[in-house]
Amino acid sequence: MKKIILASSSPRRRELLQTAGLEFEIDVKEVDESIPEGTLPAEAAKITAAKKAAAVAGTHKNDVVIGADTIVVAGGKILGKPKDEADAEAMLKMLSGIEHEVITGVCILCGENSQSFAQISKVKFYDLTYDEIKSYVATREPMDKAGAYGIQGRGCTLVERIEGDYFNIVGLPVAEVYRRINKLK
């Protein structure tokens, strides 16, 4: 039986795979997450996911390795994790009142088999006040999340509506991953 290896330290991805009833191990290696200038956002997420999976696959040649990368895109600009509180505030101000995309790139490697895909969900924020933004950033929740918010936490109060896979916004389109893994095992 092939083991499933998650090439991510994200507690949200770990939680989603556990919720889906999958048994897995975690192995994470540092990778260069730089992307060539002009790369489309969905492609950028897939490239980074593939780098994460490939970095771990070398020591798990007969296992199923999952790499993932989630990005937020607003106005054509990719928003990663904030550098500091001021950066988090600027991102939330940018997202205030607008619809944006959350894209998770996924790469699943198993021996010679490789599957990569990107899932796109849309999120619309309420118009946020200065105090709402400051208060949310003060919780420190935004600091390790792309786009400076977590929909599964206090960030849920910022969201007016979503279109697409909720779990993709959390960090992993788990139903699609589950189905693809079961085809490989």
Among residues 27, 32, 63, 69, the one annotated as catalytic is 69
Q: Is 27 annotated in the active site? A: no
pLDDT attached to residue 185:
64
Q: What is the pLDDT of residues 125-166, one digit of tens each?
A: 999 999 999 999 999 999 999 999 999 999 999 999 999 999
Domains of the chain in start order, with CATH, are: 4-184 (3.90.950.10)
> Could you tell me which of 38, 172, 159, 167 has the C-alpha nearest to residue 100?
159
Q: What is the pLDDT of residues 45-64, one digit of tens each?
A: 999 999 999 999 999 988 99
Rounded Cα distance between 61 and 142, Å, is: 35
Q: Which residue has the tokens 């489309």?
A: 40
- Cβ neighbors of 88 (< 8 A, separation 6 or more) are 82, 137, 142, 143, 148
- Cβ neighbors of 113 (< 8 A, separation 6 or more) are 184
pTM: 0.94
